[in-house]
Amino acid sequence: MINYGDENEQERAVHRSDQYSWYSVGVECSERDKIKAEATRALKDIVEFTDRLLKAMNTEKPASLTPLDKDLENAVGAKERAFGALMQHQKEHGC
Ligand SMILES: [Zn+2]
């Protein structure tokens, strides 16, 4: 006798793992990893420049804040480009 119960359970388990592993590290793609690394670096830059800017707010004259503000803007721009590239890559490459 075939045990349909177990079979169904197995099928569901496969579907479940498919659903949750669509973006897993199991799928190797150096291009995606490269873009992810860029996004990660940009996010860390945003944290760092925001932190510096926050500290400088109380100690520096407004004009001195401009370069830091520019750095932060550039980091946000880099983050947006990297995330855009990540979405584009997913669309084209499926990973
Ligand atoms: Zn890919």
Structure confidence by residue, pLDDT tens digits, 50-92? 999 999 999 999 999 999 999 999 999 999 999 999 999 999 9
Confirm whether 57 is domain-assigned. yes
Question: From the CA of 87, how far away is ligand 1's center (Å)?
Answer: 11
| Domain annotation covers residue 34 | yes
> 32 C-alpha to center of ligand 1: Å?
5
71, part of any domain? yes
Asked if pLDDT for residue 25 goes beyond 90, the answer is: no
Structural domain includes residue 1: no
Instruction: Give the distance (Å) from ligand 1 centre to CA of residue 89.
Output: 6
φ, ψ dihedrals at 26, nearest 5°: -60, -30
pLDDT at res. 27: 77
Residue 81 corresponds to which amino acid?
R
Number of domains observed in the structure of the chain: 1
Compute, in angstroms, the gap from residue 57 CA to the centroid of ligand 1: 42
Residue 64's SS3 state is: helix
Distance 27 CA to ligand 1 centre (A): 8
Residue 71, judged by CB atoms within 10 A of its CB (0-12, 13-18, 19+), counts as middle
Residues spanned by the domain of 41? 29-93
Q: Is residue 69 part of a domain?
A: yes
